[in-house]
Amino acid sequence: MNIKNLKNKSLKLRRETFLTFIKKGEAHLGGSFSMIEILVFLHEKVLKKKDKFILSKSHASFPFSILLRSKGLNTKITTHLELDSKNGIYCTTGSLGHGLPIAAGMAFAKKIKKEKGDIYVMISDGECQEGTTWETLLISAKHKLNNLIVLIDYNKIQALSKIKDALPLESLNKKFKSFNWNTVNVKNGHNFNDIRNGFKKLSKTKPNAIIFNTIKGKGIKKFENDPVWHARKLEGKEILTGKESLGLK
């Protein structure tokens, strides 16, 4: 594994995402930047031809769309993703709690048809407050959907506040395990060695969840762990701060 190459790709994606935020006049910066390394590793080292990936936390769609474009697809850059399977978007997402149930249905269909390929879906920690998430965990465990891998971007901040102040999700690892899922806890979701080791611990008999502990707004120190950057337009000095942090001129 070439860590330097993965770091360079992550920095490039952060830079391009930041510039796109400025161009589009909108920014879901916090949640977009917290998942960058996971997204890069997944697409560079994990996904195979018959696998599919769904981004359920679609408010962070900019870096995903930009990444797909870098691979030659004609993916639209939009805040909420709309079904476009020819360009790597296998599910319309945006309303939180919808991507995981759809991914489970796709995984179940593959099992019934005895088709190869896994379904990966990234959800936010805020989505773990949705009832559809827990219903899907029960269904997936019952049908032993070992071809379903849920990636949780656990940055501990939701739209307006920190998770602990809004609706706490302590022991998220134990919660998933109690639903009979194989659960992996990745201490640093920005460290490629930790990310790789997390993917190595997947079960072949149970549905899998990888909890990535991340930092919202990672990459711009002054923006990190601040709920305001869930959704905020970049203006004035903030643009200069971001460019300086990312090494942009």
- The pLDDT score that the predictor gives to residue 160 is 81
CA dist., res. 242 & res. 220, Å (int): 6
Residue 161 has pLDDT above 90, yes or no: no
Q: Which residue has the tokens 């995402």?
A: 17
Q: Coil, strand or helix: which one is 184?
A: strand
pTM of this prediction?
0.96
- The pLDDT score that the predictor gives to residue 112 is 97
Mean pLDDT, range 188-201, rounded to an integer = 98
Tens-digit pLDDT profile for residues 1-37: 799 999 999 999 999 999 999 999 888 999 999 999 9
Residue 159 has pLDDT above 90, yes or no: no
Burial state string for 219-248 with b = 16 or more CB within 10 A and e = fewer than 16? bbeebbbbbebbbbebeeebeeebbebbee
Q: What is the mean pLDDT of the chain?
A: 95
Mean pLDDT, range 226-232, rounded to an integer = 88
Mean pLDDT, range 204-221, rounded to an integer = 97
Rg (CA), the chain: 17
- The pLDDT score that the predictor gives to residue 26 is 85
Contact 89, 83 (CB under 8 A): yes
Residue 249 has pLDDT above 80, yes or no: no
Delimit the domains of the chain by residue range. Answer: 3-246
Tens-digit pLDDT profile for residues 89-128: 999 998 888 999 999 999 999 999 999 999 999 999 999 9
**H or E element at residue 209:** strand 208-213
The torsion defined by the Cα of 136, 213, 177 and 199, in degrees rounded to 10, comes to 90
- The pLDDT score that the predictor gives to residue 248 is 94
Token pair, residue 233, equals 């337009």
In terms of CATH architecture, what is 3-246? 3-Layer(aba) Sandwich (3.40)
pLDDT band of 229, cuts 50, 70, 90: confident
What percentage of residues in the chain have a pLDDT greater than 90?
Answer: 86
